A = this chain, B = another copy of it.
């Protein structure tokens, strides 16, 4: 299974990776239909026949790209060092990280293309969901269960509370970014995250 390791630049398996890189860049920027296999080949620095030697169709290349991106290790919104914090700083740190994460260009682009193709390829939507938002909510619900057990919060339905927490953090901002409106300033983002944590604590206070 040496193929799964990152290959050296000159090695054989370097080309499929270059193709996937090019596919990511173009599909995420222009969407599925507006991206041509010619463009992918050009950006990858290979011939179009080589692209087809590794991915039998445009649909398959797109699916492979989405799978690869969803399989990535997403930034650890709820990481190990957070586990050691006290509950309230923990919430604040998660909020801060999540807001930064969802306003990043890359997750926005990924959501855009996945949602655009979802009517024709719901399987990819499911993969995206399970790996990105779905994974985060499960972890965070666990954190809320602990906060409940510790008596800090009263959370009868941790999964729904996790959804509410992240939804509040996305707020209006996420939709605005999705439709191409300008990003709020860093200060506004921080203020937003803090306000949301305060409201969330109040809403789930015992």
Contacts and interface: CB of A to CB of B under 8 A. Distances in A.
A29 B33 CA distance: 13
A90 B164 CA distance: 21
Interface string A149-172: 000000001001001101110111
Question: Within the oligomer, what is the number of copies of this chain?
Answer: 2
A128 interface: yes
The size bracket of the interface on A is 35 or more
Contacts of A203: 199-200, 202-203
B179 A114 contact: yes
Given A33-B33, A164-B196, A164-B199, A112 B116 contact: yes
Contacts of A87: none
Given A119-B180, A129-B176, A204-B199, A168 B168 contact: yes
A33 B34 CA distance: 6
Contacts of A163: 171-172
